[in-house]
Amino acid sequence: MNIQDKYLKNKKNIFFSENKDIQTHREKLINIFENDGFDKKNNESLKNINLKNFIDFEYRYLISEETSVVNNNQENSYSIVSVNGQCLNFKDDKIEITKILDEDYNDFSKNNTIENNDHFVNLNSLFLNSGFKIVIKKNNNIKIKISNIITDDDLTIFQKNNYICEEGSSLNLIEEYENKNNSTLNILNVIKLEKNSQLNHLLIQDNSLNHSLIITSHSSCKKDSTYTQKVYNFSEGYVRNFHYSELIEANSEADLQGIFFLKDNNTSNNKTFVKHLAEDCKSNQVYKGILNDSSKATYFSNTHVDQVAQKTEGYQLSKGILLSDNASYFSKPELKIYADDVKCSHGSTIGPIDENAIFYLRSRGMSKIAATKILISSFINEELNSIDNEQMSEIIQKKLIRYLSKVK
Amino acid sequence: MFLEIKDLSVKIENKNILKSLNLNINKGEVHAIMGPNGSGKSTLANVLAGKEDYEILNGRINFKDNDLFDLNIEERAQEGMFLAFQYPVEIPGVNITPFLHSAVNSKRKRMNEEEIDNLSFAKLLKSKASDLGINIDMLKRSVNTGFSGGEKKRYEILQMSILNPDLAILDETDSGLDIDALKIVTDGVNKLKTKENSFLIITHYQKLLDYIKPDYVHVMVNGSIVKSGGSEIAAEIEKDGFQKFQ
Ligand SMILES: Nc1ncnc2c1ncn2[C@@H]1O[C@H](COP(=O)(O)OP(=O)(O)OP(=O)(O)O)[C@@H](O)[C@H]1O
Ligand SMILES: [Mg+2]
């Protein structure tokens, strides 16, 4: 069934299909799909993807019997269980959670200037069936942990979440994606940081083989705000991490980091993109991958510095360890600079584990496998040590040990 | 025989490096090898330690009643072989304490000895470090990463004194050491020396052999040992170079 028929057939089940503006937007999207109207050649969202697999999906959405929970367990600390992309409304003097609204949809589709040729984001807009919006109110300092639960097999969840950190607020956000069913979650996080706000965002991805996760984020930072994102991908199934950031006012910062651990025939596609649109901003894009067996990964990183963005500091790094001759990691850093007073750099090192280091460690009596494991751990040591949440750090360590136990 | 190298020929990337090399070392002996750059000294050290890049064309090596080629790199270390590298490898992110601790314990395990616990190991490491004039702060850093040339060499000797090997191969441990460090490091070696262990010392300078008295000095040229004798050979080389051995 083609995209248009799929859409028409499931319209009742898709958010905002009665809204005129949104209808118009979606007609445009359908047109793009049906008439091959998107730029295939230079489109990073299509690289190393079997597009057919993703277009030929069977649309299925269920509102689960299980209900979402919002718990305010300690002062300033909330835990949320989102079920099939939905979350109950909640409100107190610090945060407010509501269902996603058509105005949020329009806001995104009209103001998204950073990338509107992302195939999977377009699918997300077209088939949107879930999502919520969280507002952190002015000057509050909040912790939120979200477990993203999918209840059934064969679901296709298209979810849009909005996060708004109001002026002077600070949010520590931990998201867990640990699903074991044969479903696909396509989620877009739209994140807005107002003046002088901060968001520390940690994403743990550990899905089973048959579960696909396509996660995209669009963050924008106003004056003096900082967005930090750390992605840990231990999934055995397909994961796409595409994260876009816009620094729209002075002295703001975006830090996009990721580590992925791949084995067997798994694939992971990654991209980070930072657009500097104001002066005195900093960005950091660092992805590290460990690839075993026949696994494959791609990583595109991009820094775009607008001509007004003087005194930009931008850093891009991609590192990979290939544990097998059959593993492959393609990485492509890109820099576009239109301002003159700018400090930007990028680097990329991908290769097998350092044989000289292995020899050195073994020559002291350490077994080959122990030496290999110690070198893998050391490769991501810095990132692991930088996690300031003890509980999360333990969880990640455990997953790392699980991954290492399969390394031969 | 403790270590017996017989007729050893080794090549790497189509280049013959060691050519019918013979060398015997008994328990309790100190042997020195001197030879011009590129003569194959480090190659010999690496082959003994088990580095896998080389092709063994001919010959055999016996070490403590084992055919050395039957043992892999770590088994050789666990049997008591130690190589102090000419160029110690920098390993960012790996700290010496857990790494060396696990190395010591795998050796003890092979020898059916009781493993050493965290606390005792940390104490041992600290006391050996202070004997060798190594700052405690350096133990917190990643293995060899950003160390100066001399610091790396001291750090090799620290590892040696912790592992307490039966056969220690020191590949130019003296180069890069200042005069005080040379004294400290050679003191460390002399302290470790007993009737039960042996040393194979690769050096370019007689100076080192003033501190560690060798029982034998061998001259290696173009992949073979061309002359063996006592300390007087080192003095000859210091005076006249390798010209007459070529
Ligand atoms: N991987 C390699 N590929 C090609 N040639 C090599 C390789 N490793 C060593 N060689 C060559 O083998 C020869 C012996 O090298 P080796 O390091 O054993 O010399 P050495 O006696 O230790 O010298 P030095 O006194 O300079 O340390 C040299 O000519 C060197 O270039
Ligand atoms: Mg050498």
Q: Which amino acid is at B167?
A: L
Q: What mean pLDDT is predicted for residues B58-78?
A: 96
Q: How far is CA A83 from the centre of its chain?
A: 19
**Domain edges within chain B:** 3-92+166-245
Which atom of ligand 1 is least distant from the CA of B204? 25
Asked whether the predicted pLDDT for residue A51 surpasses 80, the reply is: no
Note if the pTM is more than 0.95.
no
Asked whether the predicted pLDDT for residue B33 surpasses 90, the reply is: yes
Average pLDDT of every residue of chain A: 94
CB atoms under 10 Å from CB of B65, counted, come to: 8
Q: Are A236 and A200 in contact (CB under 8 A)?
A: no
Rounded CA separation A275/A257 (Å): 16
What tens digit of pLDDT does each residue of A262-275 get?
A: 999 999 999 999 99
Q: What mean pLDDT is predicted for residues A99-126?
A: 89
Q: Are A257 and A383 in contact (CB under 8 A)?
A: yes
Which chain B residues touch A357 with a CB distance below 8 Å? Answer: 89, 91, 94
Phi-psi region of B65 (alpha: psi -120 to 50; beta: other; left: phi over 0): left
The complex's ipTM works out to 0.96
The pLDDT value given to residue A37:
59
Q: Which tokens go with A188?
A: 């877009």
Local structure of B208: helix, strand or coil: helix
CA dihedral A307, A112, A347, A355 (to 10 degrees): 180
CB atoms under 10 Å from CB of A126, counted, come to: 21
Give residue A343's pLDDT band: very low, low, confident or very high (50, 70, 90): very high
What is the dihedral sign for C-alpha A406, A295, A383, A235? negative
- Burial environment of residue B70 by CB neighbours within 10 A (0 to 12, 13 to 18, 19 or more): exposed
Rounded CA separation B236/B231 (Å): 9
Cross-chain CB nearest to B89 (options A360, A374, A377): A360
Rounded CA separation B89/A48 (Å): 37
Average pLDDT of every residue of chain B: 93
Question: Using a 6 Å cutoff on CB, does residue B38 contact ligand 1?
Answer: yes
Rounded CA separation A150/A156 (Å): 10
The pLDDT value given to residue A36:
66
Local structure of A301: helix, strand or coil: strand
Ligand 1 mean position, distance from CA B215 (Å): 26
Residue nearest to atom 8 of ligand 1 (CA): B12
Rounded CA separation A238/A229 (Å): 20
DSSP character string of B16-81: EEEEEEEEEE-TT-EEEEE--TTSSHHHHHHHHHT-TT-EEEEEEEEETTEEGGGS-HHHHHHTTE
Q: Which ligand is the nearest neighbour of the Cα of B46?
A: 1
Closest residue, chain B, to A375 (C-alpha): B94
Name which of A110-119, A290-299, A385-394 the model is least confident about. Answer: A110-119
Closest residue, chain A, to B159 (C-alpha): A364
Q: Are A314 and A343 in contact (CB under 8 A)?
A: yes
Sheet hosting strand B224-229, strand order edge to edge = B81-84, B167-171, B198-202, B30-34, B216-221, B224-229
Residues 6+ apart with CB under 8 A from A41: none
Q: Mark out chain B residues that contact chain A at CB-CB < 8 A.
A: 49-52, 72-74, 76-78, 82-83, 85, 88-89, 91-94, 98-100, 102-104, 106-107, 142-143, 159, 163
The pLDDT value given to residue B246:
80
Closest residue, chain B, to A380 (C-alpha): B93
Q: How far is CA A305 from CA A229, A277, A278, A281, A347, in A?
A: 20, 7, 9, 10, 18
What tens digit of pLDDT does each residue of A1-16 get?
A: 788 999 999 999 999 9
Quote the DSSP letter at residue B173.
T
Question: Using a 6 Å cutoff on CB, does residue B15 contact ligand 1?
Answer: yes
Ligand 2 mean position, distance from CA B171 (Å): 7
Residues 6+ apart with CB under 8 A from A57: A156, A184
CB atoms under 10 Å from CB of B124, counted, come to: 16
Q: How far is CA A342 from CA A74, A223, A238, in A?
A: 44, 19, 37
Residues 6+ apart with CB under 8 A from A304: A273, A274, A275, A276, A336
**Under CATH, which architecture does the B3-92+166-245 domain have?**
3-Layer(aba) Sandwich (3.40)
Which chain B residues touch A359 with a CB distance below 8 Å? Answer: 49, 51-52, 73, 89
In percent, the amount of chain A with pLDDT more than 70 equals 99
Asked whether the predicted pLDDT for residue A185 surpasses 90, the reply is: yes
Segment holding B161, helix H or strand E: helix B149-163
Give residue A49's pLDDT band: very low, low, confident or very high (50, 70, 90): confident
Cross-chain CB nearest to B93 (options A361, A364, A379): A379
Interface contacts (A, B; CB < 8 Å): 75
In percent, the amount of chain B with pLDDT more than 70 equals 100
Question: Using a 6 Å cutoff on CB, does residue B192 contact ligand 1?
Answer: no
Using alpha carbons, select from A333, A257, A323 the residue that is nearest to residue A295.
A323
Phi and psi at B200, nearest 5°, equal -120, 115
CB atoms under 10 Å from CB of B48, counted, come to: 21
The pLDDT value given to residue A38:
62
Which chain B residues touch A370 with a CB distance below 8 Å? Answer: 102, 106
Residues 6+ apart with CB under 8 A from B241: none
What tens digit of pLDDT does each residue of A277-323 get?
A: 999 999 999 999 999 999 999 999 999 999 999 999 999 999 999 99
Can you give the length of chain B in residues?
A: 246
Name which of A52-66, A93-107, B42-56, B110-124 the model is least confident about. Answer: A52-66
Phi-psi region of A325 (alpha: psi -120 to 50; beta: other; left: phi over 0): alpha
What is the dihedral sign for C-alpha A47, A53, A58, A64? negative
Rounded CA separation B10/B18 (Å): 5
Question: Using a 6 Å cutoff on CB, does residue B41 contact ligand 1?
Answer: yes
Rounded CA separation A167/A145 (Å): 21
Phi and psi at A63, nearest 5°, equal -90, 125
Q: Which amino acid is at A255?
A: D
Does the beta-carbon distance from A368 to B74 stay under 8 Å? yes
Asked whether the predicted pLDDT for residue B245 surpasses 90, the reply is: no
Using alpha carbons, select from A243, A293, A288, A285 the residue that is nearest to residue A267.
A293
The pLDDT value given to residue A2:
86
Ligand 1 mean position, distance from CA B37 (Å): 8
The pLDDT value given to residue B94:
94
Which chain A residues touch B103 with a CB distance below 8 Å? Answer: 361, 364-366
The pLDDT value given to residue B185:
87
Closest residue, chain A, to B169 (C-alpha): A363
What tens digit of pLDDT does each residue of B176-235 get?
A: 899 988 998 899 899 999 999 999 999 998 889 999 999 999 999 999 999 999 999 988
CA dihedral A359, A360, A365, A367 (to 10 degrees): -40
What tens digit of pLDDT does each residue of A120-162 get?
A: 999 999 999 999 999 999 999 999 999 999 999 999 999 999 9
What tens digit of pLDDT does each residue of B158-171 get?
A: 999 999 999 999 99
Q: How far is CA A175 from the centre of its chain?
A: 10
